[in-house]
Amino acid sequence: MMINSQLHSIISQEIIKPSSPTPSHLHTYNLSSVDQLAAKVYMPIVLFYPNNDNCTLTSQEKVRVLKESLSQTLTRYYPLAGRISSPISPYVDCNDEGVVFIEARVNTNLDDYLQLSEKNNTLVNLFAIDLANYKSPCNTSLVGVQFNHFDCGGLAVTVAMSHIIGDGTTFASFLGHWASVARYGSADRQEVKPFIPHFIQFPRTDSIQRESRAREIDQTNVVSRKFVFPNSKLGDLKKMVDENIINPSRVEVLTSLLYKTAAKAAATRSGCFKTSYISIMVNMRNKFVKKLPPSTFGNMASVIMVPTGQHTIETSLSKVVEDIKKTMSEELVKIQSVQQIPEYLIVSRSKKLNQDNMENVVNGSYWCSSLCGFPFKILDFGWGQPVGIDLALGSLHKNGFMLIDTINGDGIETCVLLEKENMEIFENDKEMLSFCQK
């Protein structure tokens, strides 16, 4: 069975605005310098829900609940209902223009859709946002929502949020609060915890503006594949790491394996090993003495770039893990305050580009971001928890790995984005496949 755009039809489209107007003194939300350095992409998530016999709501009532609760939630998360005049604008106009909300029908059953081995090529049809073209004139909202009906009564809620306005923690916080309001009926009900997002600003500098303008997303010849690594296999992988490396996490060892395999695939294709780099996204909210609350709104992450030589990639998983842990430890101590995050991002990247050949850095760079531990799999809007979660990441930069907990909690699902020729080698690597779910 193939799912294609002909099986998707739009039922309705409207704009959801905040239930209460944003006060005039909050109409301009200045983006932090870290926000401006964020990738110019959308973060897209798909939440699949079955036809729950215990839920008395009809499909249309579910749509109404989502719209009303989204309107209430946008009053708290007011920048999400605003507009950015251009991808390089330094501020959000919090004008309450609202969030696009589309209702659509998918002419197939949810189970059939979930059984597709590669869903990324079809997921884009479930979104209200043009994920492949961030600068599209159609993408006026910072957030896009689509409610998709399946023939069986199941549904998929898709949400895409601009990375400029916030990171994964911001995204999870917004979705969690929205789900609570939908589940209990009102943000004023006792069951919904009082919540005010914490906003923090950094000083903007000309160097950060230049860096922001210079960044482009290369989407050429990129393909994505999904791999699932059960906890039992991740345990076996951890046992392969040298015992002198203290308590490596499952995310660290899996990141090392994916990076090692991808770099080896690139070397096999080119015929030679070169120095490679893995850039790891680090949530900085809990890295300081005065910890920032999870509700801190915006991009609050740093990127640690770890270089590895050719012999490391050729021979040793333990050496890759060691290099990652050592570099993370050495680099994070350089960031002693929230205000130092943006300058660290600029200085560390510039230093790396000055020390090494720029072409080698660009072509040999990989990125990894983990959503493990985020509460996406328990998002209940009033009709139960999702039976599936997916990420439509085909629009992101090549040479990357996105990690997320499996829906049953027994492992990590990874989306890998590589050039087509490298992927053909990567997905047939026997060592990597030995730790995958069969």
Q: Which residues are catalytic?
A: 163, 380
Residue 91 host element (H or E): strand 91-93
* Cα-only R_g, the chain: 22
- Cβ neighbours around 9 below 10 Å, total: 11
Roughly what angle, to the nearest 10 degrees, separates helices 206-214 and 340-355? 60
Neighbours of 63 (CB within 10 A): 18
**Cβ-contact 403, 368 below 8 angstroms:** yes
Place of tokens 């050496």: 319
Task: Identify the CA nearest to 84 among candidates 142, 132, 39, 37.
Answer: 142
What is d(CA 293, CA 197) in angstroms, rounded to the nearest whole number?
9
- Record the tokens describing residue 169, joined without a space: 């923690």
Q: Are 354 and 282 in contact (CB under 8 A)?
A: no
- CA atoms of 49 and 68, how far apart (whole Å): 19
Residue entry with tokens 């496949």: 433
Phi, psi of 128 (to 5 degrees): -85, -10
Nearest to 175 by CA among 401, 389, 405, 407: 389
